[in-house]
Structure 1
Amino acid sequence: MSEVTILAYGAGNVASVRFALERLGAEVRLTADPVEVAAAERLILPGVGAAAYAMSRLHDLQLVEPIRAFRRPLLGVCLGQQLLFDASDEGGGTAMLGLIPGRVTALAPGANLPVPHMGWSRLSQIRDDPLLEGVGDGAYTYFVHGFVCPDGPATLARADYGGPVPAVVRAGNRWGCQFHPERSAAAGARILKNFLELPA
């Protein structure tokens, strides 16, 4: 059985992520202890709400450096993906984890699309990756976000919301999903299963 640790730092949708992983047979640990984070087999960084608040919680709990030093599989979910980047324009500017180059900006999809982007959108895969194995090109996943990561070399898959939305990213052992895999039916379950099967 795969072990996975979820960061329970007060800025994430921990319960739904935990239940989705347990349905896949994972042994799930919840923690905000830096020592336990450093020792984790694989790590999920969930996130909802504002980037500045999330980063303040990570700093207060002394989790920033253990996350930056983590060398086993790490998955950021929704805001958790955005936190992997250098900085965000949200809240007048927020320094983030700096694990993937680039700056998160406000979503500007055009006149006919509301912000936040909320609902189901198709994935368009750019590159093959173990996280996306068995996930069909065009699979639907569920998004809720008002800011968007930069589209660059880290992008594995995009959604289209009046422009490209980097939906899955990777840099080394760090992956991110802008959507909520725990709310994305079969495609999301397959992504979480793939994450659990990545070599630790």
Structure 2
Amino acid sequence: MNIVIIDTGCANLYSLKYAVQRLGYQPIITREINLILNADKLFLPGVGTPKTAMEQLYLSNLIKIIKSFKNPILGICLGMQLLCSYSQECRNIKMLDIIHSLVSKFKVNHLSIPHTGWNNIIIDNDNQPLFNNISNRSKFYFVHSYAVEINKYTLATSYYGVHFSAVIKKNNFFGVQFHPEKSGISGAQLLKNFLEI
């Protein structure tokens, strides 16, 4: 199976690669269009700002390729947010607009931002293969200041002063706000589930 991690220039590329390798697969990190087009599974990781990430995708001529990709693709953290329309972090930057939703800054005056650490997810639709062998309210590791608003594509939510989308899905596009590569057994199971879809 051809597994590709899109090289978005972010810091968590190799931790994701090693997490996938521990499951017995051999992913590659690349921006090469031909390799991405031939991927059976595609990861879109991200750390940083939407502006920087979208610039990287634009310079690599990957925006149209990602939007038209037909096999399963998993956006992680900022990568999940990029699947949406706009972010309050960079209002003038149009993102991939695959999922018509806004990414909003946390409004939680009594809590520290970013939301960092372990938090549980509430699964709204446990018939999804992405959640095979994952219990409701399982804990995953989050690091983010912005979150995708709950919308019709939300599969699971989490709570940090407000409820927000923890997992989204539209057709072959999946997104998780947390970092499965840093989320222990549950994170490994989610990655395994995605790779077996």
Distance 1:131 1:123 in 2: 13
For 2:125, which of 124, 127, 136 is the aligned residue? Answer: 127
Q: Is the 8 A contact 2:105 2:146 kept in 1?
A: yes
Q: Structure 1 unaligned runs (5+)?
A: none
Distance 1:111 1:86 in 2: 26
Distance 2:36 2:69 in 1: 8
Distance 1:73 1:36 in 2: 15
Q: Is the 8 A contact 1:76 1:177 kept in 2?
A: yes
* Deviant stretches of 4+, over 2 Å: none
Tell me how many residue pairs correspond in the alignment: 196
**Bigger shift: 161-170 or 5-14?**
5-14
Q: Is the 8 A contact 2:49 2:89 kept in 1?
A: yes
Distance 2:11 2:195 in 1: 19
Residue 57 of structure 2 corresponds to 58
Matched, 1:74 2:73: yes
Map 1:44-123; keep pairs closer than 5 Å. 44-108=43-107, 110-123=108-121
3-state SS of paired residue (1:190): helix
Residue 4 of structure 2 corresponds to 5
3-state SS of paired residue (2:85): strand
Deviations 1:38-69 (A, max 9, x none): 11111000000111100001001101011011
Deviations 1:76-119 (A, max 9, x none): 000000000111121343210111111111111x2321111000
Letter in 2 for 1:168: V
Q: Is the 8 A contact 2:8 2:46 kept in 1?
A: no
Q: Is the 8 A contact 2:2 2:38 kept in 1?
A: no
Matched, 1:174 2:173: yes
Distance 2:10 2:87 in 1: 16
Distance 1:162 1:43 in 2: 32
Letter in 2 for 1:89: Q
Residue 185 of structure 1 corresponds to 184
Q: Structure 2 unaligned runs (5+)?
A: none
Q: Is the 8 A contact 2:76 2:176 kept in 1?
A: yes
Q: Is the 8 A contact 2:124 2:157 kept in 1?
A: yes
Distance 2:189 2:27 in 1: 17
Q: Is the 8 A contact 1:81 1:175 kept in 2?
A: yes
TM-score (norm 1): 0.95
TM-score (norm 2): 0.96
Q: CA deviation at 1:36?
A: 1.6
Q: Is the 8 A contact 1:26 1:196 kept in 2?
A: no
